[in-house]
Structure 1
Amino acid sequence: MSTLTVKGHRDFGVLWTGRAISQFGSDVGAVALPLVAVGVLDASAFQIGLLAAIAAATTLLLSFPVGAFAEHRRKRPVLVAADLARCLTLLSVPVAALAGALTFAQLCAVAAVNAAGQLAFAAASQAHLKALVDGDRLLDANARLESTTWLSLTVGRSLGGVLAGLIGALGTLVVDAVSFLAGALAVTRLRAPEPAPPERTAGRRRAELLAGLAFVRREPALRRLLAGWVIYAGASAMAFPVSTVFYLRDLGFTPWQYGLLMGVPSLGGFFGARVVRAAAERWGMLRLLRWSAFARGPWYGLIALAPVGVAGLVVCGLAFGAMLFFSSIANSAQGTYRQLRTPDGLQVRVAALWAFATTAAAPLFTLAGTGLAALTGTRGALGAAAALMLAAAFLSPARE
């Protein structure tokens, strides 16, 4: 296939900048908000878990309504509004804290608004990307966005921790809020005319809400792609808490070694995204999608065999980095294939469906993983996660 670069595409560069700033802001905030809860309000472990649960519940409840809302509106105002809403709610926290009026209920509201803003921004930006970039440049555009995501995972949360140590958790939230303001301003600099949004079908609200689901159900390739993604993402959710116990208890990694393992391998995702365009030129989109899905699968099985000590740290780091390398390639190819197969009038709702399915499945897989670890041990549960990831690859579409 022919894939062209978006290098030099001014408007894509602006959108990329806006998304990158918002992404880094989200990752910094993911560290700062719990620190505020603990440091300012002396929140319990249950309350910290509740903040995360509220964010997940918001995604579940609002995926379809937000998708339908954003679909029928111009995407740039949605992007700007999502960033401004997150900016203002985050700024409300240090203001309330300085006034002695901060409550845990306010933090819960902030977590909900931020989750809704993240959902709206991600879905609208994916839809707007297809309108902004020609189809033969779409894979390169998605790969560049994917590389930013992985770089943010490597740097953003670490930066959040460093900032919290230097200027405190409340000061870090201010930085986070300013990042969303900067992201909103970046979007306003887009110059190309935005296409008119699709018109709403009168009197069919339920059909409008579920139109993305109905479309995917009619498309065998996208149906398989969604099922495979849910299984893979679920297996990742299943492995995460188990691997944490495995690293810290079974392999005896120190906190700094664990932090290193959580951060540095994400560079594999960054580098994977950078080779996607060349790989697609050589092997084609669908072939790349299918074989990268297989290549990302077995690495938790290798992690399960890791020995104790420095050798185990090296094995886990290399295996985790390799998994993220191939996951990044598969994610870029999957996102591009989905965008190309989805009509323009359904882009936001199909993207919201992916977010809903992933969020809904994650707790079920997590519970299954912890239960399996109790029965078979952490190594057995990690091996099962690797088997599920490989199984998910068989659902990748093999042909148009």
Structure 2
Amino acid sequence: MTTTDPTTTPHRRGGLWHHRDFRRLWIGETVSQFGSTVSQLALPLVAILAVHASTFEVGLLTTAETAAFLLVGLPAGAWVDRMRRRSVLIINDILRAIALGSIPVAQWAGMLTIGQLYVVALVVGVCTVFFDVAYQSYLPELVGRKGLVEGNAKLQASESVSQIAGPSVGGLLIQVLTAPFAVVVDALSFLWSASWLAAIKARPAKPPRQPDRQLRREIGEGLRFVLGNRLLRAIALCTGTSNLFSVMTFAVFYVLLARDLGLSPGWIGLISSTGAVGGLTGAFLARRFADRVGQGPAIWLSVLVIAPCGFVVPFVQRDWTLALLAVAQIITSMGVVIYNITQVSFRQGLCPPALLGRMNATMRFLVWGTMPLGAFLGGVLGSTIGVRSALLVAACGGALAFLPVFLSPLRRMRELPVYQDPPIMEDPTHPA
């Protein structure tokens, strides 16, 4: 007879801090997130400062980073549902480390080009698709459905902490080492993440092979589950709209700071890190906020509150408006994190276990598939009507993102529906 290890019970006193495998996942992901925030700043600065890319080329780099969600977003879910999700996580961490590690090697050899940056961005993007789909599908396996809100909140909190320190440290590393060599930090962080994922003891069985499985049919099941649910449709439309215009902003944001305002990498990193303070606050407040206003209202209110913040960016100068930009980023990050914790936990709790990979992949396809278009439009508009005008267009569009969830039944739903709880996964290391 096998008993359940009490450390795997998320709702006991102390929560998931007593869940050994969750701690391993959390430690690896925290350091990986720190490295990723360095690359988020370093990659566009590699293009701007080392390769001397144009505004359009910088926008195209962001397009390459996000194109994978359109190219492999839907089949990735079906493939992940056929595989051990932990193995998917480890393999894609290692592949991202290799791809990013090629940048400093090429720079050292004097061979770095914008073309290589596009290839690296695309490879990292494809790996991120598989990692994220497997990651959001693995968490319910690891902690049980009752631990989802707490697990997502803790992971979002660590992500926010990394975003506070990462850009600041990244900016200093870029100044000292130059942008191409600062990318090494992210490559090493992915190897760190892979090592901690490999240390997880729980080994869920590989999903049984279905004799009549067909990729098209499996993709269709994920699409029908998401598109057939009015609440998921509203969330997908809201998130997709928000991502479209936020990535349009991101595509030219560093061009504004580095080229138009002439800020140093250190200052750019410091400005980029300020918003994460709001993200950390949002991670701690998400559960309380949803309990106070209701789960449905928490989703649309958190998007509505960030709408005015986008209008700060187009008008920022090298004066007191930089402080106003920092405040706007704090509010934006807080709203985004509350929104993500609430809606992602709802999606994970609603979906049958066998469909988790396809549900997450379908949502990623719908909500991140708009990002390549946003990045491309940002680059085109930035190079034609100007960077500030492009940012103003993005702010206007982003202000409307809350409408799909506000006009849905989520507006008044204090409690959101859930799928019936499966038993929490047993820890095989606990003696019988």
TM-score grouping bracket, smaller chain normalisation:
0.7 to 0.9
Q: Does 1:185 align with 2:195?
A: yes
Give the count of matched residue pairs: 395
Q: In the alignment, is the contact (CA less than 8 A) between 2:103 and 2:181 conserved in 1?
A: no
Residue 322 (structure 1) aligns with = 331
Question: Under a length normalisation based on structure 2, what TM-score does the superposition of the two structures give?
Answer: 0.77
Distance in 1, matches of 2:141 and 2:208, equals 13
Of 29, 32, 42 in structure 1, the residue corresponding to residue 39 of structure 2 is 29
Matches within 5 A, 1:259-274: 260-274=270-284
Q: In the alignment, is the contact (CA less than 8 A) between 1:243 and 1:382 conserved in 2?
A: no
Of 397, 417, 427 in structure 2, the residue corresponding to residue 385 of structure 1 is 397
Residues 114 and 166 from structure 1, CA distance in 2 versus in 1: closer, same or farther, beyond 3 angstroms? same
Deviates more, 1:63-72 or 1:118-127: 63-72
Q: Deviations for 1:275-322, whole angstroms, at most 9, x for unmatched residues?
A: 123333444433433433333334446x48989885544444333322
Tell me the secondary structure at the aligned position of residue 326 of structure 2: helix
Tell me the secondary structure at the aligned position of residue 369 of structure 2: helix
Residues 157 and 383 from structure 1, CA distance in 2 versus in 1: closer, same or farther, beyond 3 angstroms? closer
Q: Does 1:289 align with 2:302?
A: no
Partner letter of residue 357 of structure 2? V
Cα displacement (A) at 1:210? 3.6
Q: Which runs of 5+ in 1 are unaligned?
A: none
Distance in 2, matches of 1:147 and 1:113, equals 27
Q: Deviations for 1:32-51, whole angstroms, at most 9, x for unmatched residues?
A: 44555566666665554443
Cα displacement (A) at 1:274? 1.3
Deviates more, 1:143-152 or 1:3-12: 3-12
Q: Deviations for 1:327-350, whole angstroms, at most 9, x for unmatched residues?
A: 211111011001111121222222
Residue 228 (structure 1) aligns with = 238
Q: In the alignment, is the contact (CA less than 8 A) between 1:146 and 1:273 conserved in 2?
A: yes
Of 278, 298, 316 in structure 1, the residue corresponding to residue 288 of structure 2 is 278
Q: Which runs of 5+ in 2 are unaligned?
A: 1-9, 418-432
Distance in 2, matches of 1:94 and 1:308, equals 33
Residue 421 (structure 2) aligns with = none
Question: Under a length normalisation based on structure 1, what TM-score does the superposition of the two structures give?
Answer: 0.83
Distance in 1, matches of 2:364 and 2:273, equals 24
Residue 347 (structure 1) aligns with = 356
Tell me the secondary structure at the aligned position of residue 307 of structure 2: coil
Of 175, 179, 200 in structure 1, the residue corresponding to residue 185 of structure 2 is 175
Q: In the alignment, is the contact (CA less than 8 A) between 2:163 and 2:273 conserved in 1?
A: yes
Residue 150 (structure 1) aligns with = 160
Q: Does 1:255 align with 2:255?
A: no
Q: Deviations for 1:30-78, whole angstroms, at most 9, x for unmatched residues?
A: 3444555566666665554443332222232011222222221001111
Matches within 5 A, 1:294-313: 294-300=304-310, 303=312, 312-313=321-322
Residues 48 and 274 from structure 1, CA distance in 2 versus in 1: closer, same or farther, beyond 3 angstroms? same
Q: Deviations for 1:260-283, whole angstroms, at most 9, x for unmatched residues?
A: 543312311111111123333444
Tell me the secondary structure at the aligned position of residue 227 of structure 2: helix
Partner letter of residue 332 of structure 1? I
Tell me the secondary structure at the aligned position of residue 389 of structure 1: coil
Deviates more, 1:380-389 or 1:218-227: 380-389
Matches within 5 A, 1:193-204: 193-197=203-207, 199-200=209-210, 202-204=212-214
| CA RMSD after TM alignment | 3.8
Distance in 1, matches of 2:391 and 2:39, equals 33
Deviates more, 1:268-277 or 1:50-59: 50-59
Distance in 2, matches of 1:379 and 1:34, equals 17
Residues 287 and 41 from structure 1, CA distance in 2 versus in 1: closer, same or farther, beyond 3 angstroms? closer
Distance in 2, matches of 1:221 and 1:204, equals 28
Of 75, 80, 83 in structure 2, the residue corresponding to residue 65 of structure 1 is 75
Distance in 2, matches of 1:243 and 1:101, equals 27
Residue 4 (structure 2) aligns with = none
Distance in 2, matches of 1:108 and 1:27, equals 18
Tell me the secondary structure at the aligned position of residue 181 of structure 1: helix
Q: Deviations for 1:79-122, whole angstroms, at most 9, x for unmatched residues?
A: 11001111223334444555566565544332222111111111
Identity score, percent: 32
